[in-house]
Structure 1
C-alpha cells in the first residue's frame, strides 16, 4: 500500500535509534562534530551560492582568493572580525547585544535531532549517527524555529530605529504566517509515519519517500521553508530597496556576523528537515538502496546520502534567488494566508480521511485513489473554466485637476498626521523655507523674511 496504516503514537514509545551505549564523551564528540560541520557548511554555502549565481547570470563570480575563489568566504569572515564594532547610544544595550546570540543559538540547536545514519562503530562504541532523538522531535524543531525569530524581533526593536523595527515586525508576521503552513505540511507526515520522531520517520520511508506520496505537502513545505528563512523571493524583512538591511541595519562586526551566520545555518536546517521528513533521510536513493541487499544503507555510506540531499535542497534555494524577483508584501502575505495554509489544511484532512478509511474501513486502496484523483480533476476543471471577475473601470476625472471632481486644497501640511505623506492629485506641497528665502532674496523681490525662513537662516 502507498499509505501506511495510521498508528496512534504512544507517548511512552521512544525513538527507533538506540542511544543506550552512548557515554558523555560520545555526546561531546557528536556535538563538536555538528558545530564544526555547520561552520564549514556555511563557508561552503557562501562560496557555492556566489558561484551558482554567477554561473546562472553569466559572470565570473569569486575567482581571486584561492582556487576558483574557494577562500573568498574565509576573507569575508576575517573582514567581519576586523571591522569596527560600535554600539548605539539610544539602544537597549542588553537586548541589543543579546538578540544576535539568540538567533545564532537557536539555529545551531536544530541539528541535534537530525539523523545522519544508522548505528556505526565510533571508537569501539556502537552508536547511531545522531546526537539525540525524542518521540516529539519534529515538534522540538518547530518550537526552536519559533523561538529563533525572537532574535530578529528583539534586534530590530532594541536598535531604537525606524527601519530595523519595520524589518522586525515584518519578520514576525512572516514567521507566523509561513510556520503555520509548514506545521500543517509536516502534520501529514506524522499521520502516515505514525510518529513525530525523526529516526522513526526515516525508518517509515524504507519503501517509498514521503515526497512522492505526500507531494502537495512537500510542495507547501518547499515554499514555506523559503519564507521561513527570509530568502528571495521572500526576503521582505531585509529588503535593501525598502529597509536598507532590515533588522541588521544598526549592527556591525561580529554582531552582524552572528545574524549572517544564523541565516545560513537556518538554510541548512530547513534543508535537513526536508531531507529527513520527505526525501528518505539518510537512506540511499533507488536503485542504490536495492544493490547488495541494502549495502549502501549500512555503515558510513548513509552520511554521504544525507549530505548530498541537504545540498540538493540548498541548490534549489540558490536557484530560486537567481531566478525570481522579490514579492510585494501584500502578495507575500496573500500567498501564505490564502493559498498555502488552506491547501495544507485541505491536504491534511484528505490524508486523515484516507488513513481512517484504510484503518477502520473495508475499502480497496486502488478504488479510493481513483475516486480522489477524479475529485481532483473535477476541481481543476472547474477552476480553469470559472469566469474571471473583471475589475470595474476607474471613473474618469471630472475636472482638469484629475481628482474626479473632489475639491482639495491647493496646499496641505504633509506632517499633519505625524509622518510625511505624499500629496494627492491636485494638492501641492508648500515651498520649503530655503526656496522662500531664495525667492525673497531674488532681484526685485521684497526683503521681508517669513518666520520659517528666518528659523532656517538662524539654524
Structure 2
C-alpha cells in the first residue's frame, strides 16, 4: 500500500498539485483500499456461509438470484435498505444509532495492520498485536451500548451475556497471543510473519493456537458460544430493536469478524503469506494468505453448524477453570524453555531469517512441552469426568433416600 500511495503522491506533485494535498489524497486512497477489501469480502462471506450451512443441513442454499445464488447478498442488501428505520421512543437515540457503526468499524480497523504480502499492508505498527486487542474490544463496548440504549430488557440481558462472555475469553486470547509475540520478539504483525520463515509457530506451540482458536470462537459468538443471540432464550439478543441497515451492520460485523480472526490466525501461527513460490509474485503471496485464512474460516463454519450451544455456567467454568490456567501454564513453560535453549545456543536469539535446521532443537523441545502439558490436562479432565458420572449415578439413590426420609 505504501508503494501505491507514494506513487500516487509523486504523480500528483509532478502534475502540479500541492504537496500537502497530494499527500492527503494518497492517504485517503490508501484508507479506501484497505477498508475496501473487508467490505467486498463480507459480501462473499455471507454467500459462502449460507452455502456451507445448506450443504451440512442437506439443503441447496441460495440458488435463485444470479448464477448459483451469488447475487443473493446484493438482493438482501437492497431489502435491508428498503426496510423502515425504526428507533424506539424510549431509546437513547445517539447511542442507539452510533452502536452499529462502532461495531462494524472495530472489525474494519483490524485490517489496517494486516500485511497481505511482504510489501502490501496498511500500516506496520510496532504494537500491531496490542492494536488488535484494543480495537477488538470496541466491538464489545458497542454491543453493550446497543443493548442498554435500546431500553429493552431482552436486549439488556443479551448485552450482559456478551460482556461476561467476551471479557472472560479475552484473557486466554491475550495469553495465547503473547506466545507468537514472545517467539518473534516483536508486536509487529510483519515481524511475526517474518519470524516464521524457519518454522510456523503452530508447530512450536500448537496449544497456543488451540487456545486462540477457541477464544476467538467465543469472541465472535459462534457455536458453541452463541449466547449473544440465543433466540430460544432472548428472542434476538442485544439487537432485537434494530432494523434495516443498522441490523445489517451488526450482521456484517459478525460475518467479517469470523473471517478476520481466520486471517489473523494465519498470520500469527501459519506463516501468513509464506508458501511455495510466494516470492515470485504478490498475487501468489496474497493467495497463500487467503487460502490459509479460508481453511480456518471453513472449520469455524463447520463447528457452527454441528456443535450445540452450551449453557452460560458451562462456558464460564470452562474458561476460568480450564482455558485460563492452561494458557498461563503454556506461556510460562514456553518462555522458560525458550530462554534456556537460547542460553545453551540450541535456538537462535532472533527468529527472523532462521532456517528449519536452526529451529529443529527448539521445535522438538517445545513440542515435547506442549505434549506433556496436554497429557496432564487430559488426565485431569478424565478424572473430573469420572467424578461427574459417579455423582450423576448416585443422584437417583440420594433422591430416593431423601424422599423416603421425608415420607417417614
TM class by shorter chain equals 0.7 to 0.9
Secondary structure, aligned partner of 2:117: coil
Contact 1:191 1:355 in 2 (8 A): no
Larger Rg: 1
* 1:353 equivalent in structure 2: 336
After superposition, the Cα gap between the structure-2 partners of 1:277 and 1:371, relative to the gap in structure 1 and judged at 3 Å, is: closer
* 1:405 equivalent in structure 2: 406
* 1:396 equivalent in structure 2: 399
CA displacement 1:127-146 (0-9 Å, x = unmatched): x2101011111100000011
Question: 1:362 Cα deviation (Å)?
Answer: 6.5
Structure-to-structure mapping, 1:285-434, within 5 angstroms: 288-289=276-277, 295-296=279-280, 298-361=281-344, 365=361, 368=365, 372=369, 375-376=372-373, 379=376, 383=380, 386=383, 388-389=386-387, 390-391=390-391, 392-394=394-396, 395-396=398-399, 405=406
After superposition, the Cα gap between the structure-2 partners of 1:71 and 1:347, relative to the gap in structure 1 and judged at 3 Å, is: same
After superposition, the Cα gap between the structure-2 partners of 1:153 and 1:378, relative to the gap in structure 1 and judged at 3 Å, is: closer
* 2:14 equivalent in structure 1: none
1:206 to 197, 204, 215: 197
Secondary structure, aligned partner of 1:116: strand
TM norm structure 1? 0.75
* 2:113 equivalent in structure 1: 113
CA distance in 2, matches of 1:370, 1:205: 16
Identify unmatched segments of 5+ residues in structure 1. Answer: 1-16, 119-127, 407-459
CA displacement 1:258-288 (0-9 Å, x = unmatched): 211211221222112111111111112xxx2
* 2:55 equivalent in structure 1: 55
Contact 2:205 2:370 in 1 (8 A): no
CA distance in 1, matches of 2:333, 2:381: 22
* 1:87 equivalent in structure 2: 87
After superposition, the Cα gap between the structure-2 partners of 1:371 and 1:43, relative to the gap in structure 1 and judged at 3 Å, is: closer
Q: Which has the higher helix share?
A: 2
Question: 1:361 Cα deviation (Å)?
Answer: 4.3
CA distance in 1, matches of 2:371, 2:47: 47
Question: 1:319 Cα deviation (Å)?
Answer: 0.8
How many residue pairs match? The answer is 371
Question: 1:382 Cα deviation (Å)?
Answer: 5.0
Question: 1:164 Cα deviation (Å)?
Answer: 0.3
Contact 2:161 2:228 in 1 (8 A): yes
CA distance in 2, matches of 1:148, 1:334: 24
Contact 2:172 2:211 in 1 (8 A): yes
Aligned: 1:183 with 2:183: no
Identify unmatched segments of 5+ residues in structure 2. Answer: 10-22, 348-360
Calculate the aligned-residue CA RMSD, in Å. Answer: 2.7
Contact 2:6 2:26 in 1 (8 A): no
CA distance in 2, matches of 1:374, 1:311: 27
Question: 1:222 Cα deviation (Å)?
Answer: 0.9
Question: 1:373 Cα deviation (Å)?
Answer: 7.0
Question: 1:295 Cα deviation (Å)?
Answer: 3.9
